[in-house]
């Protein structure tokens, strides 16, 4: 596959002749700022939306004039025109909403993480499979342009075998105090870094994870009223010395925020940046190939996640972002949180509570 073919393959895909009705549960900032723009851009069939706060749904309707506002959850779930439900609420409500949507016979795309623990996650996976329905997770970062190109390059062995994956966050969580995210335990890891944990899970799919160690900390410039730690670091150790690292500096003061990453292999290096100052380049045999990326994580990554679910429904297969595939991401995330609770002590992977 040449550079042009890789860029084409990296674009979000939606099935050409399948546009099922989509109902959205939740109408927060992420829905109005990413879900709806993505679905509009790619011509998806959004029927309507439900949220417990009427003002939120009215704001969504202002963006999408034909969007129907459902007065109750049952009204949305009972609508025969809706085949797929997009659950975009905070974590505490997701499990019940997934179960109700499945009971109503709907395929589901759930915001991440889709369950608070592994036993609940496995229960949801089993329930969906027994009902013959697809349950996918909105790990939209898998379709962020730079990460998607990196995934395709790895699949072609462009840099040989992986030696290490390294991620750095140059970002600020100054927006978090006073928001619901500030109240989520291990918010930086569990709600934010889970995207980076997930892409590590994808890139190191064929490697055996041995243990996880992680720490979280308050940055020196973090205000006293901020409850969740802004800084974190995590190391995922695989067999034969392969490592993956995440280092988050959550209090940066820079106008060039971004999330640079490096993939070092036995035959070359991939370096890039996602979610700010996006780029990606491949270095091999002293030759540098830089990709002219199309689109951005917000909103195109969100179209990628929903598009993959729709494609899987149309093709009667498991989606790449299925809840079953996402079990390992959740397990790795919970292991990191467990290590943080133990002040960075390594957690052997088989010891993660199920």
CA distance 306 to 312: 10
> pLDDT tens for residues 194-208?
999 999 999 999 999
Mean pLDDT of the chain: 96
Coil, strand or helix at 187: helix
Across 105-110, average pLDDT: 98
The region that residue 157 occupies, defined by phi over 0 for left and psi between -120 and 50 for alpha, beta otherwise, is: left
Q: What are phi and psi for residue 126, nearest 5 degrees?
A: -65, -45
Domain extents in the chain: 3-140, 145-295+324-351
Which class for 165: exposed (0-12), middle (13-18), buried (19 or more C-beta within 10 A)? buried
Cβ atoms within 10 Å of 46's Cβ, excluding its own: 22
Say what the pLDDT of residue 4 is: 87
CA distance 182 to 230: 10
CA distance 61 to 31: 11
For the cut 90, the answer to whether the pLDDT of residue 9 exceeds it is yes
Say what the pLDDT of residue 335 is: 97
- Class of the 145-295+324-351 domain? alpha beta
Percent of the chain topping pLDDT 90: 94
pTM over 0.85? The answer is yes
Say what the pLDDT of residue 351 is: 53
Say what the pLDDT of residue 331 is: 96
Say what the pLDDT of residue 352 is: 52
Question: Which CA distances in Å does 286 have to 267, 268, 269?
Answer: 10, 9, 10
> pLDDT tens for residues 132-144?
999 999 999 999 9
Across 95-124, average pLDDT: 97
> pLDDT tens for residues 328-353?
999 999 999 999 999 999 999 875 55
> pLDDT tens for residues 217-261?
999 999 999 999 999 999 999 999 999 999 999 999 999 999 999
CA distance 85 to 338: 32
CA dihedral 232, 345, 118, 321 (to 10 degrees): 40
CA 134, 137, 138: angle at the middle one, nearest 5? Answer: 130
Instruction: Among 3.40.630.30, 3.40.720.10, 3.40.30.10, 3.40.50.720, name the CATH number for the domain at 3-140.
Output: 3.40.50.720
For the cut 80, the answer to whether the pLDDT of residue 354 exceeds it is no
Q: Do domains 3-140 and 145-295+324-351 have the same CATH topology?
A: no
First to last CA, the chain: 41
For the cut 90, the answer to whether the pLDDT of residue 192 exceeds it is yes
The conformation of residue 189, written as its DSSP 8-state character, comes to I
Question: Which CA distances in Å does 117 have to 196, 282, 288?
Answer: 19, 37, 43
CA 98, 228, 54: angle at the middle one, nearest 5? Answer: 45
> pLDDT tens for residues 305-335?
999 999 999 999 999 999 999 999 999 999 9
């Amino acid at each position: 596959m040449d550079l042009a073919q890789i860029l084409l393959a990296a674009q979000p895909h939606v099935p050409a002749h399948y546009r099922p009705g989509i109902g959205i549960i939740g109408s927060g900032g992420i829905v109005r700022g990413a879900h709806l723009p993505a679905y509009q851009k790619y011509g998806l069939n959004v029927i309507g939306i439900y949220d417990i706060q009427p003002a939120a749904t009215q704001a969504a309707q202002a963006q999408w004039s034909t969007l129907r506002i459902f007065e109750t959850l049952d009204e949305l779930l009972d609508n025969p025109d809706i085949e797929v439900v997009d659950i975009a609420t905070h974590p505490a409500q997701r499990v019940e909403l997934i179960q109700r949507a499945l009971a109503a016979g709907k395929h589901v795309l759930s915001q991440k993480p889709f369950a608070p623990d592994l036993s609940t996650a496995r229960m949801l996976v089993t329930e969906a499979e027994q009902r013959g329905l697809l349950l996918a997770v909105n790990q939209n970062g898998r379709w962020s342009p730079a990460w998607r190109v990196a995934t395709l390059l790895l699949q072609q062995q462009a840099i040989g075998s992986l030696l290490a994956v390294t991620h750095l966050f140059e970002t600020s969580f100054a927006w978090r105090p006073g928001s619901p995210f500030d109240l989520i335990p291990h918010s930086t890891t569990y709600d934010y870094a889970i995207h980076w944990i997930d892409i590590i899970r994808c890139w190191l799919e064929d490697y055996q994870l041995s243990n996880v160690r992680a720490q979280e900390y308050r940055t020196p410039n973090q205000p006293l009223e901020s409850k969740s730690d802004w800084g974190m670091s995590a190391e995922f150790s695989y067999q034969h010395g392969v490592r993956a690292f995440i280092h988050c500096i959550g209090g940066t003061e820079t106008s060039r925020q971004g999330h640079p990453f490096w993939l070092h292999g036995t035959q070359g290096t991939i370096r890039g940046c996602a979610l700010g100052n996006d780029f990606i380049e491949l270095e091999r045999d002293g030759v540098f190939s830089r990709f002219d990326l199309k689109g951005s994580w917000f909103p195109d990554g969100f179209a990628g996640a929903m598009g993959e679910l729709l494609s899987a429904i149309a093709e009667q297969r498991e989606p790449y972002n299925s809840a079953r595939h996402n079990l390992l991401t959740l397990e790795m995330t919970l292991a990191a949180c467990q290590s943080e609770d133990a002040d960075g002590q390594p957690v052997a992977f088989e010891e993660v509570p199920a």
